[in-house]
């Protein structure tokens, strides 16, 4: 929790002001029973109306002071809490951006969303409530007990007996609540994951008639969240009855022995009323504890989940050498890769080299390691062994900003953002001119299609490009990569939705682009247009060379050619 709440230290002055204002409220509340006792003993019992009026006006003045202090306290507490939440959310998001892809993939995206939203809101709320009532409640208990001893030691001792029992009980409930609400947040992650999966696969769900199944699946995960929450709340709801029982028993004891002392003229009526008043204030403070324990328990669980992200040391490594313009000579030297220590090798001893401006077609069955191979180039993953060089320079000697700035990457799944077409294209280069947008769109064979839309380049793209076809999304993604004017262009099976004629035009337009191109494809006709073909089989290089060379050296390549000539498709 310290890692998270250290962000609050930046707002120490607003927090200090809020705390001091809270102390003013508390002082007024602790003074009121003494004034009431004074009014009873010196005013009402003595039939002195002027004393009652005088102390009554004092009470009104103190109440006004407490009101103004409370309102101002809320202002400073809200400012500190909201600013604290902003900083925590920002720092967590920045940490996620710095993760290696391997680290990032260890967290479900639904869990990260929950941490950035729900968990941050909970720790924000607990900071606000701390400045309003969380500190006030225990201070009110201690202050009331202290003032009670100031009034009458014997009767105050009856209140003191309950304090150790309550402290032990509250500490246990806080610890127990942290575990229970940690489970609640994990269940919430699962609900969010179920929702995310369903919404992203709406077309498939409807096309396969699985609405009822998805409803049942959501009902099951949501029911588990409900049951876990009920279990946690039931346990925590025991807090208030137990606290009230202990405190009410103490107050009853004060009334019992106080009545006897009044009858024996050992104490005044006002003193007993003051002690009871302090006991009632302690009871009110302890009744807050039920709410505060639940809030603190949830905040503790949420803070630990946020801290889990913030304390991870592994971030993307980058060099600090001078930047140079990439030429595009690329070589893999005995490169192997696995996703984690327990996983098998996805790539095994890969060796090949291509020159600047050349096109390499990468082929292989699903799971052969094609996408993994190209993701090593922008260093989304780091090789387990071996060396990748660009222009003869090991890839880890290039700084990440320089390396990625000169790479145009089109992922296998076309990803578009809500906004205009122009906004999506400029995601590749924020300072691109309108002329550069048009040039990239023409090369990607999407310019004419854009002009056919009523608003042209200002056409709004729905979430994830829902209002565009698969081919349109692929071509926009390619244009977005081209607008960067990359020296290394990666097309991860990103022409699969294009017809033969459009794909041929695209590949022809790329020729003068002077970028070293890695093209993952399943089509022999497309691969034959490349300068070289890299054929992968279960992570190993089965063949490397031109189409004619592979026909002579690779049995796998001959089978692929034969299957496509017969109208079949490559084994998926």
Q: What is the pLDDT of residues 346-363, one digit of tens each?
A: 999 999 999 998 999 999
| Same domain, yes or no: 184 and 240 | yes
Tell me the C-alpha to C-alpha distance, in Å, between residue 48 and each of 41, 53, 151, 560.
Answer: 10, 9, 22, 109
pLDDT of residue 298: 76
Q: 256: which residues sit within 8 A by CB, 6+ positions away?
A: none
pLDDT of residue 362: 94
Asked if residues 509 and 443 have their Cβ atoms less than 8 Å apart, the reply is: yes
Cα 210 from Cα 444, distance rounded (Å)? 37
Q: 89: which residues sit within 8 A by CB, 6+ positions away?
A: 116, 120
Residue that terminates a domain, selected from 460, 485, 510: 485
| Same domain, yes or no: 537 and 554 | yes
pLDDT of residue 570: 47
| Same domain, yes or no: 463 and 562 | no
Half-sphere exposure (Cβ direction) of 459: Cα atoms closer than 13 Å: 20
| Same domain, yes or no: 272 and 351 | no
Q: What is the pLDDT of residues 277-333, one digit of tens each?
A: 877 777 777 767 667 777 777 787 788 888 888 888 765 565 555 567 888 899 999
| Same domain, yes or no: 136 and 267 | yes
| Same domain, yes or no: 123 and 174 | yes
pLDDT of residue 1: 64
Is residue 111 a part of any domain in this protein?
yes
pLDDT of residue 496: 80
Tell me which residues of the chain have a pLDDT lower than 70.
1, 178, 200, 203, 287, 289-290, 314-323, 463-465, 567-572
Asked if residues 216 and 261 have their Cβ atoms less than 8 Å apart, the reply is: no
Which helix (H) or strand (E) element contains residue 410? strand 407-410
Which helix (H) or strand (E) element contains residue 387? strand 385-390
Cα 374 from Cα 346, distance rounded (Å)? 13
Domain that holds residue 277: 91-310
| Same domain, yes or no: 526 and 556 | yes
| Same domain, yes or no: 199 and 333 | no
The CATH number given to whatever domain includes residue 392 is 3.40.50.300
Q: Is the Cα dihedral 393, 397, 401, 402 positive or negative?
A: negative
| Same domain, yes or no: 283 and 240 | yes
Tell me the C-alpha to C-alpha distance, in Å, between residue 466 and each of 73, 204, 412, 474.
Answer: 48, 14, 17, 13
pLDDT of residue 572: 38
């Amino acid at each position: 929790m310290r890692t998270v709440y250290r962000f609050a230290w930046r707002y120490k002055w607003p927090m200090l002001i809020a705390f001091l204002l809270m102390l003013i409220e508390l002082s007024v509340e602790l003074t009121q029973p003494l004034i009431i006792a004074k009014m009873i003993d010196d005013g009402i019992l003595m039939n002195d109306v002027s004393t009652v009026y005088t102390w009554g006006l004092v009470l009104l003045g103190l109440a006004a002071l407490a009101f103004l202090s409370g309102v101002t306290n809320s202002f400073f507490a809200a400012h500190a809490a909201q600013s604290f939440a902003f900083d925590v959310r920002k720092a967590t998001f920045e940490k996620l951006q710095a993760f290696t892809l391997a680290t990032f993939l260890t967290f479900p995206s639904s869990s990260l969303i929950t941490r950035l939203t729900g968990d941050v809101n909970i720790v924000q709320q607990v900071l606000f409530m701390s400045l309003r009532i969380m500190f006030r409640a225990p201070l009110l208990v201690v202050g009331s007990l202290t003032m009670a001893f100031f009034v009458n030691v014997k009767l105050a001792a009856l209140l003191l007996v309950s304090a150790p029992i309550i402290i032990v009980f509250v500490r246990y409930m806080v610890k127990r609540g942290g575990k229970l609400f940690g489970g609640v947040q994990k269940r919430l992650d699962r609900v969010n994951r179920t929702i995310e999966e369903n919404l992203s696969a709406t077309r498939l769900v409807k096309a396969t008639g699985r609405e009822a199944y998805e409803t049942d699946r959501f009902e099951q995960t949501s029911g588990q969240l409900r049951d876990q929450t009920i279990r946690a709340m039931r346990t925590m709801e025991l807090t208030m009855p137990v606290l009230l029982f202990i405190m009410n028993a103490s107050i009853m004891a004060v009334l019992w022995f106080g009545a006897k002392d009044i009858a024996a003229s050992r104490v005044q009526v006002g003193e007993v009323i003051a002690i009871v008043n302090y006991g009632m204030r302690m009871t009110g403070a302890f009744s807050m504890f039920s709410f505060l324990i639940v809030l603190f328990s949830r905040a503790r669980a949420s803070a630990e989940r946020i801290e889990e992200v913030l304390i991870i040391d592994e971030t993307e490594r980058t060099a600090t050498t001078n930047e140079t313009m990439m030429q595009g000579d690329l070589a893999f030297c005995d490169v192997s890769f696995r996703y984690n220590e327990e996983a098998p090798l996805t790539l095994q001893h890969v060796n090949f080299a291509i020159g600047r401006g050349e096109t390499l077609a990468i082929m292989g069955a699903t799971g052969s390691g094609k996408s993994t191979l190209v993701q090593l180039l922008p260093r989304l993953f780091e090789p387990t062994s071996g060396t990748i060089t660009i222009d003869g320079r090991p890839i880890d000697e290039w700084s990440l900003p320089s390396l990625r700035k000169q790479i145009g990457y089109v992922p296998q799944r076309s990803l578009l953002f809500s906004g205009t077409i122009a906004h999506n294209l400029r995601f590749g280069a924020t300072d691109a001119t309108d002329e550069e947008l048009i040039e990239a769109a023409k090369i990607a064979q999407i310019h004419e299609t854009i002009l056919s839309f009523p608003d042209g380049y200002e056409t709004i793209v729905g979430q994830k490009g829902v209002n565009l076809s698969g081919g349109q999304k692929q071509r926009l993604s390619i244009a977005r990569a081209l607008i960067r004017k990359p020296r290394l262009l990666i097309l991860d099976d990103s022409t699969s939705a294009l017809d033969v004629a459009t794909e041929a035009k695209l590949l022809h337009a790329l020729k003068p682009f002077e970028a070293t191109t890695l093209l993952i494809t399943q089509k022999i006709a497309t691969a034959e247009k490349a300068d070289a073909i890299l054929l992968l089989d279960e992570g190993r290089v089965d063949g490397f060379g031109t189409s004619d060379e592979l026909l002579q050296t690779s049995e796998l390549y001959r089978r692929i050619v034969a299957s496509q000539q017969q109208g079949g498709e490559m084994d998926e």
